[in-house]
Amino acid sequence: MPELPEVEVTRLGVSPHLIGQSIEAIEVRQPQLRWPVSEQLQTLVGQVITGVSRRAKYLIIETAAGCAIVHLGMSGSLRILPKDSPAEKHDHVDMTLSNGQVLRYRDPRRFGAWLYNELPLEGHALLEKLGPEPLTDDFNAHYLKAALKGRSKAIKLALMDNHIVVGVGNIYANEALFHSGIAPTRPAGQISIKRLETLVEQIKRVLADAIKQGGTSLKDFTQSDGKPGYFVQQLSVYGKSQQPCQNCGREIATIKLGQRATFYCSRCQR
């Protein structure tokens, strides 16, 4: 599933092709995605795209008449193609632009979304209860300490709770906890403010590094694949079960937390 850096790189990749363009048509070939594709999206036809923003893993295509809220789901991708490009089996939504291009949404598993909403977005059911963005100043150790107070759930599960902070998915939670020296199973409410300061710093670092690495592949959005993919990264623990820890040499352990694979070093993380 695309995580926050992949979604942010998607935003960076498609934005230059969208902003300032008029929407000439929106064609929906498959209306049954995670939720039915909003018929109100047709309200956007004839409107100029004024911005492309992101909230958590939702992309927001903005116009004066409202916006399209796009979620990539588990297998979705966006591509920029010439508007006469033939559609393939899993190409479900086209947004045709005045520059002769089309923003095409592909989703083999159909677990994404295309929804309409008026601007501003405050109060939208999908967005109103989300936590802060991890790369903003609102996400800091003092906020996190207050949000975790009294919680006995494992810190890794807390980091993946979008009500606490958005977009820290499985890969980046594993990595940030390793570099913070915090065991993923440690009760969230029992971590000191000093250790949370380190954790917040590492979350911001690993996410920013992933976005930066993905920025080198922006040309992919005008090619047939259209996916930035999971960037070539120097991952320290994720996916490295039974390999030696880069710090101490102990074998990386793997457990399941919340049905997700969790990788950590039992010596370096406590």
Q: What is the amino acid identity at position 57?
A: K
Per the annotation, the verdict on 2 as an active-site residue is yes
Residue 43 to residue 35: CA distance in whole angstroms: 18
Residue 116 to residue 182: CA distance in whole angstroms: 41
Phi, psi of 193, deg, nearest 5:
-60, -35
Per the annotation, the verdict on 3 as an active-site residue is yes
Q: Which position among 11, 57, 79, 240 bears the catalytic label? A: 57
Q: Which position among 3, 6, 62, 175 bears the catalytic label? A: 3
Contact 225, 239 (CB under 8 A): no
SS3 113: strand
Q: Which residues are annotated as a binding site for DNA?
A: 90, 109, 151
Q: Which position among 83, 145, 186, 260 bears the catalytic label? A: 260
Tokens found for residue 176: 């940030």
Per the annotation, the verdict on 260 as an active-site residue is yes
Per the annotation, the verdict on 54 as an active-site residue is no
Contact 141, 193 (CB under 8 A): yes
CA nearest 93: which of 146, 157, 34?
A: 34
Q: Which residues are annotated as a binding site?
A: 90, 109, 151
> Any idea which residues carry the catalytic annotation?
2-3, 57, 260
